[in-house]
Chain A
Amino acid sequence: MNVLSCENVGINFGGLKAVNDFNLTIDEGELIGLIGPNGAGKTTVFNLITGVYTPTEGTIKLQGVPINGQKPHLIVHQGIARTFQNIRLFSHLTVLENLKIAQNKDMSYSPFSGMLRLGKYWQEEKESTEKAIEILDVFDMTKFAYQAANSLPYGAQRKLEIARAMATDPKLLLLDEPAAGMNPTETDELMDTIMLIRNEFGITTLLIEHDMRLVLGICERLTVLNYGEILAEGNPREIINDPKVIEAYLGKGE
């Protein structure tokens, strides 16, 4: 069964077609890469899927249910989580709090229950902490639980952002350039983390990345975007030998 399907999706910004006729189907458990030169519209695709932008054309479906036009937080509730190109953490809050905020949607005690510290508050807070610690354990970050997010090393901050996305309990995870700014060792560690998410939790993942080592190392299928349109699709080996793709990245050879 496919988790995500984009059907002829497009968006216009005042006459400029940032993304046009975008089609993509992702099956459950797949790990797919979205690549393309700078300015090709990759992040725009993420913004369309997560509801930051509303597509002017086409339909986006999550497990067969259309989601376009919905507010971003409701799309999260339905099971799509993301990370950002430039890390966006709740910097002054602790690692644990970062995760618990993502779990807010699964908690139900009322403001009054919180104000008066009724039984439901204690129960749900306890469950939420336990669940957050579980996720941190998987990411090997439990030691950071009570530290402020902005005090973490860079690689750990990237990992925290993924862990926070996982805390929303997603069906589909969108990673926007997770390896940006990382050194080779950190990238290796990141690749392990992404594989872990796939193997341990079985989460379907779509990622944007420029680091070809990472893309070729873990992605099963690639979609190449250029000038807002799909240029090529296929398995990584085919893609890197595709003359159209090489041309898009390097320019036409003489």
Chain B
Amino acid sequence: MPREKRITYLINLSLIILLFAIITILEAAGIFAGYMMSILRLVTINIILATSLNITVGNLGQITLGHAGFMSIGAYTAGLFAKNIGLAGVPGYLIGLLLAGLFAALFGVAIGVPVLRLRGDYLAIVTLAFGEIIRVLIEYFDFTGGAQGLNGIPRMQNFTVMYFVAALSVALMYSIMTSRHGRAILSIREDEIASESSGINVTFYKTMAFTLSSFFAGIAGAMHAHNIGTIGAGDFGYNRSFDILVMVVLGGMGSFTGAVLSATVLTIVPEMLREFADYRMIIYSLLLIIIMIFRPEGLLGRKEFHITNVINRLKKKFGKSPPKPVSVSPKPDAAEKFDRTDSSSKGRGT
């Protein structure tokens, strides 16, 4: 491992711990009450959901509308596991999470292999359909608790555990997306034909991205199940998938830091708007439209926020020679790749 990389990792790790320490202190000081902590637990879950969807939508460049379906598979797997086999404590919780992820990933492969050859909007509508089928089937069968939902899932609301599971998940997703596998996935977003003729196995990498995405959605689902204790298939309808998609798009498709940021903001802000509960969803949807009109590439575009870049800039300012940039983010162009050329090659522009 090169030296400057090691420094970057250490800085990032210390920042994650620092943020955790701040939250813990605020909680201990009584500034963050139980209500705030419950919102922050939701934040950890939504961060995993948004970053995992970012892999398919932002990095692979395929629009999917069934993310909540994979979340529900994870939630039910963890719920049923905890109720029927049930291992105690944090290790049991983590095993449940892993199982939930694996099971969701299994569904991801099974659904991804046939549907990923569809393009653009067709893929969007088919993934929406799969999400709905999963929902209907969960309600139909009895072992899932049927339409009444699954009750009495052991609660696990330990913020420390949830925080570090989220941090680890994001770190793992980010690392793989900046490895050769992630580059292959990005190349499919950029130009599928060029990718194929550069030797990339497009089918394989599409499936890999979709599977990874489902795996982490499953983990988030499991955390959700343990967080609220009662789940119903109705919680995982297409509206939920839309919510997650909105987080990814607002943050900037393809940007992990953007997804983390917007998942945080979009979880906290609606809660703040609760005082205006009646108008909350109206404001929310208006904001969505306005942001799309005025900043369609999302808040961060494709940029990633790197703390090391900030440090280098500061060093430069104070006269020290900066080390080579650790990672080079692509130019923050408008997300024009999602243009209209994917499913039909119509000439556009008036």
Contacts and interface: CB of A to CB of B under 8 A. Distances in A.
Contact of A84 (B2, B180, B194, B328): B194
Contact of B175 (A94, A102, A115, A147): A115
Interface string A215-227: 0000000000000
Contacts of B190: 89-93
Interface string A103-142: 0110101010111110001101100100000000000000
Given A88-B191, A93-B330, A101 B181 contact: no
Interface size class of A (residues with CB under 8 A): 35 or more
Q: State the main secondary structure of chain B at its contact with A.
A: helix
Contacts of A128: 180
Nearest to A169: B199
A100 B186 CA distance: 12
A42 to B, nearest CB: 17
A102 B302 contact: no
Q: State the main secondary structure of chain A at its contact with B.
A: helix
Contacts, number: 115
A81 B200 CA distance: 12
A93 B186 contact: yes
Interface string B175-186: 110011111101
A115 B176 contact: yes
Contacts of B179: 109, 111, 113-115, 121, 125
B197 interface: yes
B344 interface: no
A97 B337 contact: no
29 contacts: A50-B197, A52-B193, A71-B201, A73-B197, A73-B199, A76-B196, A76-B197, A76-B198, A77-B199, A89-B191, A90-B191, A90-B195, A92-B190, A100-B180, A101-B184, A101-B187, A104-B180, A104-B183, A104-B200, A114-B181, A116-B172, A122-B1, A128-B180, A148-B333, A150-B331, A150-B333, A151-B331, A165-B198, A168-B199
